[in-house]
């Protein structure tokens, strides 16, 4: 979700800036060196040298700390004027676009260098598109979860003109009273009077998936030509959006979202595929493991499409794991990613598995006897533990089952503030392990998260144990420093004994590390196991699958590989830097 740039019409791409959750991008109409992009995390970034250097130009702080930027647009008639919108993530389920909550509208009159809140659209909801009338910078349209709204006073006041959740809006070149919108679930609508009246305009869209429309764009040099992206391919109109025909030949994947049309040639367009739109309509997601996603280009008006994003890659990889039973099979996922990637040929090629749990992944874990059973902890949806029994194609949540296992002791200590367990709790799970000798036995650990600006329902650190492959859990935290500001970042189980477990704590995502704790009774009691360590800034722990008495501990600041026996004898410091994460195939270790 970073910013990429191509100087040769999409043949090659280079990364211009790295960021999470890029939600909008706008280029100055008369000075292509000026570019602005928005991110959900309360920031606008601006470049005046065509993307070489970026600087933050606006952060919504204080009263706006819970709001996120979701759309950007310049005015064509007065190109130094730009608009953006900020919606309240608390009121709308973390930017999932549910309902018509208020959205603040901001304006810049100096090409995006300075911004002021000009007004509030009380029922806009999450604004997905802002479009400015070409005749006047004071006429602005906002399309979002609260429908379509119009302002005639530069964003000061807003009137709803259409009450159906909408993602895209495009104004016809040369006829600014003609608008075409793409709705969340109800196809396309069209207005010829500046949004006062709307008529359905979905002739040619094959229901139901093609009625789940995403983005719509007029060709800037041909007002009759319109492109539409949907849940089921690209559609094209030659009559200003009245009728549509499928134009998806050559697409490797038919779930399409982003679109841009060449400002000089109406037959040249670019689209980006997706298998889920978590910030737009998260309930629309294509399960399974997919190939063919990416950026595509047409040079013949949508008759055929060819790949155009060979250099664009997933950045910010946070987690990688090798499958213990299937050689050359790797799973990985990145920060703020749309899902996970799996390689079945040792990393030579990758397939995509979309599921929300891979957004901010923590730990992958696998059953040692059932190749298709796998688990993942993540910081998604307020904390998650997911399970798949079909090799990652579909996932179910175990989060609520974990919370049902919170002990009465933790509740009495005030470490869990929702004793009714009503669902929707904010928790942070990280460390995860399946016992190699008994796949029904699992352990998961929590984080006393002091980094994320949310109020967590589960505080302190906790370890939970399941004896039925995740169907039920019980807390096993006696002996752990439960109220410490630390994190159970890693759990490893002795391959010979499901009751012997090591819990490694870390300052990552919290404040301090407490080193390693060990249990030999399945978590009934834990004891500190730090003898011989120079310090307790631990970063990762692994157990030798062939010699289980040998443990390897990665230390932070300075970095050492610390080798020691599981009986607590002093460890041996092994020279070596841990600047990169390394995985060893447990079957083909040589």
Residue-wise pLDDT for 363-403, tens only, equals: 999 999 999 999 999 887 678 999 999 999 988 999 999 99
Tell me how far apart the alpha carbons of residues 414 and 220 are, in angstroms, rounded to a whole number.
60
Report DSSP letters for 306-344, one per residue.
Answer: EE--TT-----EEEEEE-SSSTT-EEEEETT-SEEEEES
- Fold exhibited by the domain 1-163: Methylamine Dehydrogenase; Chain H (2.130.10)
Tell me how far apart the alpha carbons of residues 573 and 357 are, in angstroms, rounded to a whole number.
36
| Residue ranges of domains in the chain | 1-163, 174-180+201-313, 317-528
Tokens representing residue 94 in the block: 């973390």
- Please write down the HEC assignment for all residues of 386-434: EEECCCCCCCEECHHHHHCCCCHHHHHCCCECCCCCCCCCCCCEEEEEE
Phi-psi region of 427 (alpha: psi -120 to 50; beta: other; left: phi over 0): beta
Task: Identify the residue with better confidence: 70 or 586.
Answer: 70
Task: Report which of 144, 134, 201, 149 is spatially closest to residue 168, judged by C-alpha positions.
Answer: 144
Task: Identify the residue with better confidence: 414 or 74.
Answer: 74
Task: Report which of 127, 228, 122 is spatially closest to residue 170, judged by C-alpha positions.
Answer: 228
Band the pLDDT of 577: cuts 50, 70, 90. Answer: very low
The dihedrals phi and psi of 4, each to the nearest 5 degrees, come to: -120, 155
Task: State mean pLDDT over 501-511.
Answer: 93
pLDDT confidence of residue 64: 46
Q: What is the pLDDT of residues 267-309, one digit of tens each?
A: 999 999 876 655 445 555 677 787 888 899 999 999 999 999 8
* Residues 6+ away with beta carbon under 8 Å from 272: 256, 257, 258, 259, 294, 295, 296, 309
At the second CATH level, the architecture of 317-528 is: 7 Propeller (2.130)
Contact indicator for 404, 421 with CB cutoff of 8 Å? yes
Tell me how far apart the alpha carbons of residues 108 and 84 are, in angstroms, rounded to a whole number.
9
Tell me how far apart the alpha carbons of residues 427 and 444 are, in angstroms, rounded to a whole number.
12
pLDDT confidence of residue 557: 58
Tell me how far apart the alpha carbons of residues 241 and 200 are, in angstroms, rounded to a whole number.
10
Report DSSP letters for 4-57, one per residue.
Answer: EE-SSTTSS-EEEE--S-EEEEEE-SS-TT-EEEEETTTEEEEESSTTSS-EEE
Tell me how far apart the alpha carbons of residues 33 and 461 are, in angstroms, rounded to a whole number.
49
pLDDT confidence of residue 422: 56
Contact indicator for 117, 103 with CB cutoff of 8 Å? no
Measured CA to CA in angstroms, residue 50 lies from 42, 53, 382 at distances of 22, 8, 37
Band the pLDDT of 252: cuts 50, 70, 90. Answer: confident
Contact indicator for 241, 226 with CB cutoff of 8 Å? yes
The pTM of the full predicted model, rounded to 2 decimals, is: 0.81
CA dihedral 453, 67, 231, 266 (to 10 degrees): -130
- Give 174-178's long-range contacts (Cβ < 8 A, gap of 24+): 174/223, 175/223, 176/133, 176/134, 176/135, 176/139, 178/223, 178/240
CB atoms under 10 Å from CB of 588, counted, come to 10
Q: Could you give the 3-state DSSP secondary structure of residue 64?
A: helix
Task: State mean pLDDT over 206-212.
Answer: 85
CB atoms under 10 Å from CB of 14, counted, come to 11
The dihedrals phi and psi of 367, each to the nearest 5 degrees, come to: -75, 140
Task: State mean pLDDT over 221-242.
Answer: 96
- The residue behind tokens 């997919």 is 290
Contact indicator for 228, 172 with CB cutoff of 8 Å? no
pLDDT confidence of residue 584: 46
Tokens representing residue 404 in the block: 């049902």
Task: Identify the residue with better confidence: 506 or 1.
Answer: 506
Hey, do 1-163 and 174-180+201-313 end up sharing a CATH topology, with the first three levels equal?
yes
pLDDT confidence of residue 99: 66
| Rounded (to 5) percent helix, strand, coil in the chain | 5, 40, 55
Contact indicator for 226, 178 with CB cutoff of 8 Å? no
- Fold exhibited by the domain 174-180+201-313: Methylamine Dehydrogenase; Chain H (2.130.10)
pLDDT confidence of residue 78: 97
Please count the CA atoms within 13 angstroms of the CA of 196 that sit on its side-chain side.
6
Q: What is the pLDDT of residues 446-481, one digit of tens each?
A: 999 988 777 888 999 999 999 999 999 999 999 999
DSSP secondary structure code for residue 458 in this structure: B
Measured CA to CA in angstroms, residue 146 lies from 119, 185, 214, 304, 435 at distances of 16, 13, 15, 35, 48
pLDDT confidence of residue 589: 47
Tell me how far apart the alpha carbons of residues 46 and 11 are, in angstroms, rounded to a whole number.
25
Measured CA to CA in angstroms, residue 204 lies from 101, 188, 228, 245, 469 at distances of 33, 11, 12, 6, 48
pLDDT confidence of residue 375: 96
Tell me how far apart the alpha carbons of residues 203 and 488 are, in angstroms, rounded to a whole number.
55
Among residues of the chain, what percentage have pLDDT more than 90?
Answer: 66
């Amino acid at each position: 979700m970073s910013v990429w740039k191509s100087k040769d019409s999409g043949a090659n791409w280079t990364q211009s800036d790295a960021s999470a959750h890029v939600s909008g991008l706008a280029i100055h109409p008369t000075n292509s060196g000026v570019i602005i992009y928005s991110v959900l995390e309360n920031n606008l970034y601006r470049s005046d040298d065509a993307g070489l250097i970026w600087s933050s130009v606006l952060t919504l702080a204080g009263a706006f700390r819970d709001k996120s930027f979701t759309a950007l647009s310049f005015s064509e008639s007065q190109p130094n004027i730009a608009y953006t919108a900020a919606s309240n993530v608390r009121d709308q389920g973390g930017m999932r676009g549910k309902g018509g909550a208020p959205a603040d509208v901001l304006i810049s009159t100096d090409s995006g260098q300075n911004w002021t809140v000009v007004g509030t659209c009380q029922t806009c909801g999450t604004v997905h598109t802002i479009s400015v009338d070409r005749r006047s910078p004071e006429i602005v349209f906002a399309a979002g979860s609260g429908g379509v709204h119009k302002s005639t006073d530069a964003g000061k006041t807003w009137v709803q003109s259409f009450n159906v959740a909408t993602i895209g809006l495009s104004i016809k070149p040369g006829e600014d009273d003609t608008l075409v919108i793409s709705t969340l679930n109800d196809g396309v609508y069209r207005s010829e009077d500046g949004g006062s009246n709307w008529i359905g305009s979905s002739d040619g869209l094959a229901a139901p998936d093609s009625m789940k429309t995403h983005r719509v764009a007029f060709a800037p040099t041909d007002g009759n030509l319109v492109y539409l992206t949907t849940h089921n391919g690209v559609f094209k109109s030659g009559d200003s959006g009245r009728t549509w025909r499928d134009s998806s030949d050559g697409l490797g994947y038919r779930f399409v979202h982003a679109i841009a049309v060449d400002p000089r040639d109406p037959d040249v367009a670019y689209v980006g595929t997706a298998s889920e739109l978590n910030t737009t309509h998260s309930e629309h997601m294509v399960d399974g493991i997919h190939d063919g996603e990416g950026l595509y280009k047409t040079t013949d008006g949508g008759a055929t499409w060819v790949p155009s994003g060979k250099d664009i890659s997933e950045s910010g990889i946070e987690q990688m794991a090798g499958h213990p039973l299937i050689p050359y099979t790797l799973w990985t996922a990145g920060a703020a990613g749309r899902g996970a990637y799996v390689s079945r040929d040792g990393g030579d090629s990758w397939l995509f598995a979309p599921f929300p749990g891979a957004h901010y992944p923590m730990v992958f874990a696998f059953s040692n006897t059932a190749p298709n059973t796998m688990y993942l902890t993540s910081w998604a949806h307020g904390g998650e533990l997911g399970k798949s029994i079909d090799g990652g194609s579909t996932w179910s949540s175990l989060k609520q089952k974990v919370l049902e296992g919170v002990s009465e002791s933790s509740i009495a200590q005030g470490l869990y503030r929702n004793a009714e367990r009503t669902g929707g709790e904010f928790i942070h799970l990280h460390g995860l392990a399946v016992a190699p000798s008994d796949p029904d036995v699992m352990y998961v650990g929590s984080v006393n998260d002091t980094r994320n600006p949310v109020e967590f329902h589960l505080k302190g650190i906790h370890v939970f144990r399941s004896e039925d492959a995740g169907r039920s859990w019980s807390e096993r935290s006696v002996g752990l420093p439960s109220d410490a500001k630390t994190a159970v970042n890693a759990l490893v189980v002795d391959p010979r004994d499901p009751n012997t477990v090591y819990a490694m704590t870390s300052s990552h995502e919290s404040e301090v590390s407490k080193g390693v704790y060990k249990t030999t009774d399945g978590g009934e009691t834990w004891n500190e196991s730090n003898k011989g360590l120079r310090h307790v800034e631990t970063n990762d722990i692994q157990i030798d699958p062939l010699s289980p008495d040998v443990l390897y501990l990665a230390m932070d600041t300075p970095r050492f590989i610390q080798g020691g026996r599981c009986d607590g004898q002093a460890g041996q410091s092994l020279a070596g830097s841990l600047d990169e994460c390394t995985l060893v195939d447990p079957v083909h270790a040589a």
